[in-house]
Amino acid sequence: MIYYIDAADVEVVKEAASTYPIAGVTMNPTIVKNDLKNKKVPFFELTTQITKLIGEEKEFHIQVVATKAEDMVKEAQALRKNIKGNLYVKIPATTAGYQAMMTLKELGIKTTATAIIDVNQALLAANAGASYVAIYVNRVSNISADGDQVVLNAVKAFRQNNLTTKVLGSSFKNALQVEKAAMNGAYGVAVGYDVFKASATHPLTDSSVEQFKLDWESVYGEGNKIYQF
């Protein structure tokens, strides 16, 4: 399973890209609002900064704002024109969204279907030409359904129907949901940085490392490193 960081904060992207093996960055209007915290940064200036940090090989998934198909296509074309690198345009899994996905497929612009709540939406998006489908795991669970099961069912449905579209888990609130997405066969996950770091670390690991340090120094002296011998 591969990992994407949900972020529009340049410093978060910089730290994540230099510290962890991430496949790229994902962004939507809500992430932009929350991360910028009312800072007025020109949009394409922001995307340029992020592209420079992650490079042109890693994926950059950016969501449209429009709700009509023709406007979604225009926004996707504007994104493609202004953003260098490995761009995927995020299109919501709505009636207009499926239409836009089909058009963008013909235009050679890669898409990620987003805001998916059930398997039917995932299947329709795959048939419309989406490269990825992003299932909102926690949002599904918040309506008394099973977001983990939706990921599993989508993975199974894609395999049974020989679809090449990849399943992403997204909208996570804790590390356990991320782990379950992996166990349920998700190709990748898009994760907020706080949840990502919670998935990457564990207090028992930290305490073990501290004990290793203390034991080493009891034998070879405080502050001495292996490379010094």
Of the residues 33, 40, 58, 90, which is catalytic? 90
> Strands 166-170 and 132-136, how do they pair?
parallel
Instruction: Mark whether 33 is an active-site residue.
Output: no
Taking Cα atoms as reference points, which of 97, 53, 95 lies closest to residue 75? 97
Angle made by CA atoms 66, 25, 9, in degrees to the nearest 5: 85
What is the token pair recorded at 24? 């790229």
Active site residues: 90
